[in-house]
Structure 1
Amino acid sequence: MDVELRHLRAFEAVARLQSFTHAATEIAITQPALSRTIRQLETAMRVTLLDRSSRHVEVTAVGRRFLGDVERILTDLDRAVATVREQVSLRLGFSWLLPDPWAQDAVARFERATGSAVSLVRSDDPLTAVQQNKIDVALVRGRVRSSTWRVVHLFDEQRVALCSVHSALADQDRLDWADVPRWPLVVNIVSGTTGPWSWPAGHGPEKVVETTNFDEWLESIAADRGIGVVPEVAMRRNIHPAVKFLPLDHAPSIPVSLVFLPNGQDALLRRFVEASMDATPTAAPGTARPEARPSPSSRSRPRR
């Protein structure tokens, strides 16, 4: 029988902790399985490495010499693996402001757990970027309906209104969702979260100013061409000196999800999804924790 890495890690753990019980807990196997692994190693090497005759496990003389070599091997291996992991990154795409503090918490959890890095990629159309393999996973606001994607709903964000400091709305303290259609609405048709589709047919804004990216959208509002509606995270960022935020009453929330193709870096993606779920705000009592699931078949674009 060949000596495998699992044998070395098992022996090092027992020798260091001087306990089969504690070693089994540390390397997450049962104590009987750990005992079999040590016996396999001793049989393969035809030596006794551990003395089990006393109340405490003791390392034999030959075991102590072997332990020194094992520790060096494992240290070198762990260092080599860590070096490679530092060069492996998961690409997270987003169209504009990442939610806070979710983004910072999720990235930190993932990088601590895996040793891999997260590369943040700004994209006006992150769904297309996933399809083109330019990113591994997209942070998407709005509903995504397609059998192509895997969608993990994280949480919902509240909406706020945005107007120019020169707008007649700038003197108001807040705005009601029902009053938004009375004003020209500036819409990012590529990745925006609010547009004519956000109201029942015939109840949306009469005038729509279409833009194709975040910068065009923001500058159009600053120029008083219309108002915009965005997630409230924008209120915590100084995004433009010529705009004003207005709390928006009775507005529907915006779903925030991770979207990715099921044939991507499955293991790494799974760890990132886990970290992202752990970083989500605490659900309200009685609310089920969202799970990864294929989205229903329909269009491949977000329905905001």
Structure 2
Amino acid sequence: MTADLRHLRAFLAIAASGTITRAAAELHVTQPALSRTLRQLEEHLGFRLVDRSTHHLELTAAGQAFRIRAAAAVAAVDDVLDPARAGTWPLRLGHAWSALGVHTTTLLRRWKQEHPQTPLHLLRVDERDAGLARGVVDAAIVRGIAELPGAEVLPLFTESRLAAVPVDSPLAGRPSLTLAELSGEPIAVNTIAGITGLDLWPSGITPAAKVEVTNTDDWLATIIAGRAVGLTSTATPVMYSHPAVVYIPVPDAPSVPVHLAWHNPPSHPAVLALATLAQSITA
């Protein structure tokens, strides 16, 4: 038996719902039929995807790894069959926030001039890899440590760190700040795609409190409300300037590396042209 897209969708539904019963209801099939489809996929692959020995259904280690590949494959097929995009093949560039900072406008305009036949779609995806592993995008701008198995990673440049403080904070009038000076404040930490953790501070001056958020909009709102201060990069004010927030250099904080990453092999024929242009613009 050869596995096909139906088997992948069945497996992903099971993984997402946590039970075969709920997945079967969502897919409008019977539970025995869905169990049979899962078993066929496992037999085709030669390993177990789901651990059925526990009370709650859990993916095996192999199933966890396969889930990422299956999601990327299904996303690619759905993209090809999307009627709204028939006749075009856009290049999808993901970012978690701020894209390429000050270089964003130049990249978009140069691409339009030099590659008018291929639309470049800039997509914000609130994930550490900006949706690359799931196949949501063809290439991604990734800040910080880029641990992306199976991807090509091109270092582009580095960004300095900035503190983001409420405009009415006693810190707002300072020309610069140190990590030690920020340690007395609660720190807003984006736990999903952020580049700031309390481990950035040297031992002995780690901030006592953090306010966890899951996206840049909530991070900014937390700072505006005066609940915390933030530590970010010079790209953030380009996309997230606000009259209630002041951005101040933090010279002793480590700089932030910025990378362009893409699938290997590339999921779009124009990815390498994008890498060449991005490297040229940011050099």
Q: Tell me, in whole angstroms, the C-alpha distance in 2 between the residues paired with 1:238 and 1:263.
A: 34
Report the CA distance shift for 1:117/1:262 in structure 2 as closer, same or farther (over 3 A).
same
Verify: 1:183 aligned to 2:192, yes or no: no
- Match for residue 99 of structure 1? 100
Alignment of 1:230-245 (within 5 A): 230-236=232-238, 239-245=241-247
Q: Tell me, in whole angstroms, the C-alpha distance in 2 between the residues paired with 1:85 and 1:104.
A: 27
- Match for residue 209 of structure 2? 207
Q: Tell me, in whole angstroms, the C-alpha distance in 1 between the residues paired with 2:271 and 2:176.
A: 40
Give the C-alpha shift of residue 109 in structure 1.
3.3
Verify: 1:112 aligned to 2:113, yes or no: yes
Give the C-alpha shift of residue 94 in structure 1.
1.0
Q: Tell me, in whole angstroms, the C-alpha distance in 2 between the residues paired with 1:85 and 1:103.
A: 27
CA-to-partner distance for each residue in 1:109-162, whole Å, 9 max, x for gaps? 333333311001111116262222211111111111243322111000111111
- Match for residue 59 of structure 2? none
Q: Tell me, in whole angstroms, the C-alpha distance in 2 between the residues paired with 1:269 and 1:237.
A: 24
- Match for residue 154 of structure 1? 156
Task: Report if the CA contact (8 A) 2:95-2:142 is conserved.
Answer: yes
Report the CA distance shift for 1:262/1:215 in structure 2 as closer, same or farther (over 3 A).
same
Q: Pairwise CA RMSD of aligned residues?
A: 2.4
What letter is aligned with 2:93? L
Residue range with higher mean Cα deviation, 195-204 or 123-132: 195-204
Task: Report if the CA contact (8 A) 1:86-1:116 is conserved.
Answer: no
Give the C-alpha shift of residue 168 in structure 1.
2.6
What letter is aligned with 1:213? N
Select the structure with the greater relative contact order (CA < 8 A; seq sep ≥ 6). 1
- Match for residue 273 of structure 1? 275
- Match for residue 41 of structure 2? none
SS at match of 1:267: coil
Task: Report if the CA contact (8 A) 1:130-1:138 is conserved.
Answer: yes
SS at match of 2:129: helix
Give the C-alpha shift of residue 233 in structure 1.
2.8
Give the C-alpha shift of residue 256 in structure 1.
0.5
- Match for residue 216 of structure 1? 218
SS at match of 2:132: helix
Identity of aligned residues (%): 30
Alignment of 1:1-304 (within 5 A): 87-114=88-115, 115-125=117-127, 127=129, 129-200=131-202, 203-236=205-238, 239-265=241-267, 267-281=269-283
Give the C-alpha shift of residue 237 in structure 1.
5.1
TM-score, L = length of structure 2:
0.63
TM-score, L = length of structure 1:
0.59
Report the CA distance shift for 1:132/1:146 in structure 2 as closer, same or farther (over 3 A).
closer
Report the number of matched residues.
198
Residue range with higher mean Cα deviation, 231-240 or 146-155: 231-240
Report the CA distance shift for 1:223/1:257 in structure 2 as closer, same or farther (over 3 A).
same
What letter is aligned with 1:99? L
Task: Report if the CA contact (8 A) 1:111-1:117 is conserved.
Answer: yes
Task: Report if the CA contact (8 A) 1:184-1:206 is conserved.
Answer: yes
Which structure 2 residue ranges, 5 or more long, are not aligned? 1-84
Which structure 1 residue ranges, 5 or more long, are not aligned? 1-83, 282-304
